[in-house]
Amino acid sequence: MAEEGSYTFSPDHQGGYPRAKQEQYSLYLRKLHQDFIDSWNEKSESNAKLSDFERYKVLGTGAFGVVYLVKHATTGKYYAMKALEKEKIVKLKQIEHSFYEKKILCGLNFPFVVYMKYYFKDNVYVYFVLPFIVGGEMFTHLRKMGKFEETSSKFYGAQVVLALEYLHSCELVYRDLKPENILIDRTGYIKITDFGFCKLIRGRTWTLCGTPEYLAPEIILSKGYGMSVDWWSLGILLFEMTAGHPPFFASDPMRIYEKIVAGKYRCPGHFTTELKDLIGHTLQVDVTRRYGVLKDGVLDFKNHKWFKEVDWDNLLNSRIRPPFIPKVKSPGDTGNFDQFEEEKLKESPVNLFEEEFIDF
Ligand SMILES: Nc1ncnc2c1ncn2[C@@H]1O[C@H](COP(=O)(O)OP(=O)(O)OP(=O)(O)O)[C@@H](O)[C@H]1O
Ligand SMILES: [Mg+2]
- Residue range 131-184, pLDDT digits in tens: 999 999 999 999 999 999 999 999 999 999 999 999 999 999 999 999 999 999
Q: Per DSSP, what are the bridge partners of residue 205?
A: 225
CA of 230 to the centre of ligand 1 (A): 19
| 176 annotated active-site | yes
pTM of the entire structure?
A: 0.95
Q: Write the pLDDT tens digit of every residue in 85-132.
A: 999 999 999 999 999 999 999 999 999 999 999 999 999 999 999 999
* Euclidean distance between CA atoms 210 and 290, whole angstroms: 19
DSSP type of residue 183:
E
Residue 6: pLDDT over 90: no
Q: Write the pLDDT tens digit of every residue in 309-354.
A: 999 999 999 999 999 999 999 999 999 999 999 999 999 999 999 9
C-alpha dihedral, 308 to 114 to 343 to 94, nearest 10°: 100
Question: Exposure pattern of 3-35 as b/e (b: 16+ CB <10 Å)?
Answer: eeeeebbeeeeeebbeeeebeebeeebeebbee
H helix and E strand count, the chain: 11, 9
* CB neighbour list of residue 299: distance below 8 Å, 6 or more residues apart: 17, 19, 22
Residue whose CB lies within 8 A of the most ligand 1 atoms, among 82, 95, 207, for a mutation test: 82
Nearest ligand to residue 195 Cα:
1
CB 233 within 8 A of CB 194: no
Nearest CA owner, ligand 1 atom 28: 60
Q: Write the pLDDT tens digit of every residue in 217-252.
A: 999 999 999 999 999 999 999 999 999 999 999 999
Atom of ligand 1 nearest to the CA of 65: 22
**Residue 212: Cβ within 10 Å count:** 17
Nearest ligand to residue 61 Cα:
1
CA of 149 to the centre of ligand 2 (A): 25
Residue 5: pLDDT over 90: no
CA of 295 to the centre of ligand 1 (A): 34
Q: Report the candidate in 143, 142, 159 with the shortest Cα–Cα distance to residue 234.
A: 159
Q: What is the DSSP string of 206-229?
A: ----S-GGG--HHHHTT--B-THH
